[in-house]
Amino acid sequence: DASLLHQALLQADCPVSKVVVASCGTVSGTAFDNLIKLRSVCDQHGAWLHVDAAFGGYERLLSGAGGRTAGLELADSITLDCHKWMNVPYDAGVALVKRRELLQGSCWVDSPYFEGAGSEPDMMSLGIENSRRFRGFPVWMNIMCYGREGIREWVRKDVELARHLAEWCRSCPV
């Protein structure tokens, strides 16, 4: 409820920063927050809007910008879980931020043994793990092999199967 959020932000004792975390398709209940209203409230209070779109962000492939994810592009940061609908290993996730310099500043490790060749972007400073496997490769391969249409078809089929299962459950005697 945007009005409750407004009241909570008015009462918040945070002179420097405020963060609002919105849901874009929760896994257990598939709830979607009204991101357009939340953005408006965040703007009134100078709050950062983060959207957890780990599961529901893929809904945009089916309904476009006017669907349940309306306003997703207004977020300051978004997280997605690629393992949910892209058929990649469990730990493949994505963090999207509007202001890269803030992410880089918060993850920067000033150590001489981490210095690279000075290339842009400095990938070591865009995440909290300095030693990790190449999680982006399976994601990239799926996008290259199947494209938007192929991934959209996976999501569409899964939603259709979920509807059939729900209908079957409703028709079964208890």
pLDDT of residue 87: 86
Non-local (6+) Cβ contacts of 77 within 8 A are: 48, 49, 50, 51, 95, 96, 97, 98
Mean pLDDT, range 105-120, rounded to an integer:
66
The average pLDDT across 128-153 equals 87
Residue 71's nearest CA partner among 105, 33, 107 is: 33
Q: Cα–Cα distance between 16 and 173 in angstroms, integer?
A: 56
Percentage of residues in the chain with pLDDT exceeding 70? Answer: 89
Average pLDDT over residues 44-48: 92
pLDDT in the model for residue 122: 67
This prediction has a pTM of 0.84
Describe the strand order of the beta sheet including 19-23 as a list of residue ranges.
19-23, 48-52, 77-81, 93-97
Could you tell me the end-to-end alpha-carbon distance of the chain, in angstroms, rounded to an integer?
35
Q: Which of 74-83, 92-101, 137-146 shows the lowest per-residue confidence on average (mean pLDDT)?
A: 92-101
Mean pLDDT, the chain, as a whole number?
Answer: 87
